[in-house]
Amino acid sequence: MTKQHRITLLPGDGIGPEIIAVAVEVLDAIASKHDLKFTFTEALIGGAAIDETGEPLPEETLTACRHSDAVLLAAIGGYKWDNLPRQQRPETGLLAMRAGLGLFANLRPATVLPQLIDASSLKPEVVEGVDIMVVRELTGGIYFGQPKGIFETETGEQRGVNTMAYSVSEIDRIAKVGFETAQKRSGKLCSVDKANVLDVSQLWRDRLTIMAQDYPDVELSHLYVDNAAMQLVRAPKQFDTIVTGNLFGDILSDAAAMLTGSIGMLPSASLGSAGTPGVYEPVHGSAPDIAGQDKANPLAQVLSAAMMLRYGLNEPDAAREIELAVHQVLDRGYRTGDIMSPGMKAVGCKEMGEVLLKLID
């Protein structure tokens, strides 16, 4: 029997519409081979939503997401909306979606593919074989803590305030994702914090240490975030799974991403509690400088669709087939500008999609 999956598509801004179009074609091709049926509903987010409705995350979009089995997001943001008040910025829509769907766990894999090893700015021997999973807490910490805002003090001076706070339940639920992710990988979990300075981090470290007793098969270590940043570029192969808070995870996942050579290759998954739809999106942004020019690399978006099949729709075979096709296009030397190296075949976004489709058929 044909299995049906309802997917909300959020193309967003910049290169978003171009790359998501490739992912949709790939999903359709996969569907016919695996006896699946995807029903796509497109909705507005980010700058596109601001232009159309005045707000970055219209209620309609959140409702569409809630009524689907998974959400495939491209990217949001652009110069045009950078100077709006915070409530009307594209990024605020993204944060509201994370909060609204309860997506507390963000999985960001950083895998160095042998075909792209020369695209890394680090020496090949340092990055060869790197395979890291960053588990980032996504709905708490300094991104959401209260009080926040720009206030006026008694002397009339302005003072900007954000609050980094985590409750035990927030720490425990992301720690659980960290331990379980490590269990499925090599069994090594590194928790990153700033417990030498921050109380919120001390609680984080204490909880991780207590929870480790329930996971005797996982080897837990702790690093301060400054040291972790250094170790990531010094000797990244020491890491397998990293679990950390929202802000540290934001920063470290970009650093981990760049080990692989191009942020244009990396997918991510944002997950909530069981039964709620996850959001799958590339780690990179909307790249407004190359939007509409057929220059974007669609592979992170395509790999995000594969992650969606694996983590959100329980279709691991279909996911594997997409990942295989991506490896094959690279093996055959096709490269978009961001991963181009001498001797390879330069292609645009559309052509990269066409080559993928041929390989899947």
Catalytic site positions: 143, 194, 226, 250, 254
Fill in the per-residue mask, 222 to 261: x = in contact with ligand IPM (CB under 6 A), - = not in contact: ----------------------------x-----------
Residue choice 24, 30, 72, 94 for contact with ligand IPM (CB under 6 A): 94
Give least dist CB 60 to ligand IPM, A: 21
Q: Quick one: 201 or 253, whose CB is closer to Mg ion?
A: 253
Task: Classify 338 as helix, strand or coil.
Answer: helix
Structure-token match 């991104």, residue found: 143
Residues in the chain: 361
Residue span binding ligand IPM (CB under 6 A) among the ranges 51-59, 91-99, 213-221, 236-244: 91-99
56 burial class (0-12, 13-18, 19+ CB within 10 angstroms)? buried
Two tokens, residue 13: 């801004």
Phi, psi at 4, each rounded to 5°: -105, 140
Give least dist CB 350 to ligand IPM, A: 26
Q: Quick one: 251 or 340, whose CB is closer to ligand IPM?
A: 251
Residue 206 is classified by DSSP as H
Give least dist CB 171 to ligand IPM, A: 19
∠ at Cα 202 (200, 203), nearest 5°? 70
Task: Give residue 232's identity as a one-letter amino acid code.
Answer: L
Instruction: Kindly state whether residue 91 participates in binding ligand IPM, applying the rule CB under 6 A.
Output: yes
Q: Which does 323 bind (CB under 5 to 8 A by kind): ligand IPM, Mg ion, none?
A: none
Q: Quick one: 137 or 250, whose CB is closer to Mg ion?
A: 250
Give least dist CB 98 to Mg ion, A: 12
* # binding residues, Mg ion (CB under 5 A): 1
Instruction: Kindly state whether residue 148 participates in binding ligand IPM, applying the rule CB under 6 A.
Output: no
Q: Which does 91 bind (CB under 5 to 8 A by kind): ligand IPM, Mg ion, none?
A: ligand IPM
Residue span binding ligand IPM (CB under 6 A) among the ranges 51-59, 78-86, 87-95, 340-348: 87-95
Task: Give residue 73's identity as a one-letter amino acid code.
Answer: L
Q: Quick one: 91 or 354, whose CB is closer to ligand IPM?
A: 91
∠ at Cα 88 (170, 40), nearest 5°? 75
Residue span binding ligand IPM (CB under 6 A) among the ranges 33-41, 90-98, 118-126, 232-240: 90-98
- Say how far apart CA 168 and CA 160 lie, in whole Å: 27
Within its chain, how far is the Cα of 164 from the centroid? 22
Among 283, 281, 279, 282, smallest CA distance to 255 is for 283
Q: Quick one: 74 or 318, whose CB is closer to ligand IPM?
A: 74
Residue closest to ligand IPM (Cβ): 91
Give least dist CB 261 to ligand IPM, A: 18
- Say how far apart CA 73 and CA 280 lie, in whole Å: 6
Q: Which of residues 244-263 bind Mg ion (CB under 5 A)?
A: 250
Q: Quick one: 58 or 261, whose CB is closer to Mg ion?
A: 261
The set of residues, in sequence order, having a beta carbon less than 8 Å from that of 182 and lying 6+ positions away, is 188, 189, 215, 218, 240, 241
Q: Which of residues 260-319 bind ligand IPM (CB under 6 A)?
A: none
Instruction: Kindly state whether residue 172 participates in binding ligand IPM, applying the rule CB under 6 A.
Output: no
Q: What is the CA radius of gyration of the chain?
A: 20
β-pair partners for 12: 75
- Say how far apart CA 78 and CA 101 lie, in whole Å: 24
DSSP β-ladder status, 158-163 and 145-152: antiparallel
- Say how far apart CA 246 and CA 272 lie, in whole Å: 15
Q: Which residues bind Mg ion (CB under 5 A)?
A: 250
Q: Which residues bind ligand IPM (CB under 6 A)?
A: 91, 94-95, 250
